[in-house]
Amino acid sequence: MGIGTSIFLLALGAILTFALDATLAGIDLDVVGWILMAAGVLGLIMTTLVWGRRRTVVSTSDEPVEYRRVEERRDIAPPL
């Protein structure tokens, strides 16, 4: 779940919980809203944990990288 989906679930849950005053037979919209907000918060936490790990730089060796010097030779004719 991405950040956008998590924010959407949070907003939808808040609308169902706080702004909507409707009743459906057998469904409590306040509870559905709280569940959606909890899923949105959980999605945000999981997304930040996964993205935080993804941005970690892993080095396999402690040795510095070797640099090679490349020189252009002008005394040789270019290929045809």
Q: Classify residue 21: in a domain, yes or no.
A: yes
Domain count along the chain: 1
pLDDT of residue 25: 86
Tell me, what's the pLDDT at 6? 93
Q: Is the dihedral of CA 22, 15, 31, 5 positive or negative?
A: positive
User: What is the residue range of 44's domain?
Assistant: 3-51
Domain for residue 78, yes or no?
no
Mean pLDDT (the chain) is 83
Residue 47 lies in a domain: yes
Averaged pLDDT for residues 45-74: 73
The pLDDT tens digits of the residues spanning 4-32 come to 999 999 999 999 999 988 888 888 899 99
In a domain, 63, yes or no: no
**Residue 60 placed within a domain:** no
Residue 17 in any domain: the answer is yes
14: Cβ contacts below 8 Å, ≥ 6 apart: 33, 37
